[in-house]
Amino acid sequence: MTIREIQTHLADGSMTARAVVDGFLSRIEKRDASLGAFLETYAGDARIRADELDTGGADKTTGALFGVPFVNKDNILVAGKVASGGSHILENYIGSYDATAIRRLKEAGAVLLGRTNMDEFGCGSSTESSAFGVTKNPLDTERVPGGSSGGLAAAVASQMVPCGIGSDTGGSIRQPAALCGVCGFKPTYGAISRYGLMAMASSLDTIGIIAANVEDIASVFRVISGADPLDVTSRTVDVPLPELGAVNVEGLRIGVPKQYFDDHLEPGIVDSIEQALRAYEQAGAVRVPLDIPILEDALAIYYVLMPAEVSSNMNRYDGLQYGSETPESDLFAQVRATRGAGFGDEVKRRILLGTFVLSAGYVDAYYKKAVRARYALRRALEEAFKDCDVIVGPTSPTVAWKIGEKFDDPVTMYLSDIYTVVASLAGLPAISIPCGALNGLPVGLQLMGRLGEDAKVMDAAHWYMTQA
Ligand code: GLN
């Protein structure tokens, strides 16, 4: 059931909020044992909340998401609930407050069903680096669901929940959405408050939304976006709310960078993307071929800046402020033991990489150079957006791969982020929507827009989802 369908049933009285919640909970019971999307479900709390909604304990008229179940990713805080970030080091950490996005969802009448699996602290593209087991792709359980929000994408794709929120730092919402055949939206940086989201790479982190269709994404976005005094970066942009169906595809200029169709793209994916582009063209959109050479450097820029910020954000997990304590005789031994045992290999790899690019003697050659290159990338995209309204291409260079296939080869794993990191580095809104299949596995189409034009991106994607 989509959000709209749930709302129709609740409005005409054919279902109660409790019946909706019970329906999804029983689906989770049936499906999740074979998928491992959830780390925990809150069945008891969800039922109590649904009953409260049904008996008028909450204001029926103002709740924009009244009775709509949702889930979160394990790195978004909920008061009184464990938030482990997919890491052993925070295995028993309990959130002391609600993240702003969670609070707004709750206030709108949405019902939280549980927290979903993720790559440790968001470091990964397959959900295999979670400390709590691998999540499987619901379309083929031998394959990964993508990552790092793989649990969330798998939960939505298997209809265990209509929607959910997670983080997208370099593609963690869009890429798993693509690999699982659902929609994933990453907003303009700052459009959704990050208050209560565990920091990974602060200048790139956003909270994003996964749902089965763009309409549902827009419904969640309207509730959770907007300035928040608790996150200074949320006040720097003015992002209008989406009004779907407003976009005029006739005359819409679709930029298609040739760098998005490079050697890394799995043969066959291009056909699905071409088909989508032709659909837009047939409706009167204009294809604008783009050549943006710096896009070839985006992945390298990302994998210098991101680990640098990770290495600094992970400092807090020292067993003293945060993180499980491993008692040792002296302070250094204790910190070493806590971090040694608490972090997984991928997080350690990024801490090492980040510390290296920030260290004296290398900071100019790597970190500062990457910062300059990031600005150059932003300027190049600003230029490109003078000639087009949206930039379109594949979300992921491949469809879902077999579990284990890339796990021991970090560089190949990093390559799966090649098309998504661009919007992250530039702070731009981007969405992935399903468009065709390759060998029976879903392909994702990515649409990227100008800063603050989240509504246009959603609307242009909505047009494709609803045509024909
Ligand atoms: N897969 C990317 C990475 O490992 C993106 C992660 C994310 O967006 N959290 O860095």
Domain harbouring 149, CATH code: 3.90.1300.10
More confident residue, 276 or 319: 276
Lowest mean pLDDT among 61-75, 155-169, 361-375, 414-428: 61-75
Q: How confident is the model at residue 56 (pLDDT cuts 50, 70, 90)?
A: confident
The pTM score is 0.97
Does residue 179 have a pLDDT over 60?
yes
What is the domain range of residue 255?
1-468
148 is catalytic: yes
Q: Which atom of ligand 1 is nearest to the CA of 306?
A: 10
- Give the active site residue among 125, 126, 158, 172: 172
Which pLDDT score, from 0 to 100, does residue 59 have? 53
Please give the tally of structural domains in the chain: 1
CB of 21 within 6 A of ligand 1: the answer is no
List pLDDT tens digits, range 91-139.
Answer: 999 999 999 999 999 999 999 999 999 999 999 999 999 999 999 999 9
For residue 262, pLDDT beyond 70: yes
- CB–CB of 161/151 below 8 Å? no
Q: Which atom, in ligand 1's list, is nearest to the CA of 147?
A: 1
Q: Is residue 149 annotated as part of the catalytic site, yes or no?
A: no
CA 235 to chain centre: 21
Q: What percent of the chain has pLDDT over 70?
A: 99
pLDDT band at 57 (very low <50, low <70, confident <90, very high): low
Calpha distance 294→101 (Å, rounded)? 34
Residue-level pLDDT at 58: 54
Active-site annotation holds for 432: no
Residue 403 has pLDDT above 90, yes or no: yes
Quick check: CB of 86 below 6 Å from ligand 1? no
Confidence of residue 157 (pLDDT cuts 50, 70, 90): very high
* Among 84, 87, 148, 432, the one annotated catalytic: 148
Ligand 1: distance of its center to the CA of 369 in Å? 21
Q: What is the pLDDT of residue 146?
A: 98
Atom 10 of ligand 1: nearest residue by CA position:
123
Nearest CA to 211 out of 248, 251, 252, 165 is that of 165
Query: How would you write the chain as a 3-class SS string?
Result: CCHHHHHHHHHCCCCCHHHHHHHHHHHHHHHHHHHCCEEEECHHHHHHHHHHHHCCCCCCCCCCCCCCEEEEECCECCCCCECCCCCHHHCCCECCCCCHHHHHHHHCCCEEEEEECCCHHHCCCCCCCCCCCCCCECCECCECCCCCCHHHHHHHHCCCCCEEEEEECCCCCHHHHHHHCCEEEECCCCCECCCCECCCCCCCCEEEEEECCHHHHHHHHHHHECCECCEHHHHCCCCCCCCCCCCCCCCCEEEEEHHHHCCCCCCCHHHHHHHHHHHHHHCCCEEEEECCHHHHHHHHHHHHHHHHHHHHHHHHECCCCECCCCCCCCHHHHHHHHHHHHCCHHHHHHHHHHHHHHCCCCHHHHHHHHHHHHHHHHHHHHHHCCCCCEEEEECCCCCCCECCCCCCCHHHHHHCCCCCHHHHHHCCCEEEEEEEEECCEEEEEEEEECCCCHHHHHHHHHHHHHCC
Mean of pLDDT over the chain: 95
Average pLDDT over residues 261-279: 95
pLDDT at 142: 98
Which pLDDT score, from 0 to 100, does residue 324 have? 75
Least confident of 180-189, 320-329, 336-345: 320-329
pLDDT at position 130 = 98
Band of pLDDT at residue 322, cut at 50, 70 and 90: confident
pLDDT band at 60 (very low <50, low <70, confident <90, very high): low
Percent of the chain surpassing pLDDT 90: 90
Is pLDDT at 31 greater than 80 in this prediction?
A: yes
Average pLDDT rounded to a whole number, residues 295-306:
98
* Cβ of 346 less than 6 Å from ligand 1: no
**Closest Cα to atom 4, ligand 1: which residue?**
124
Give the integer Cα–Cα distance in Å for 7 and 192: 24
313, 201 contact by CB (below 8 A): yes
Predicted confidence (pLDDT) per residue in 80-102, tens digit: 999 999 999 999 999 999 999 99
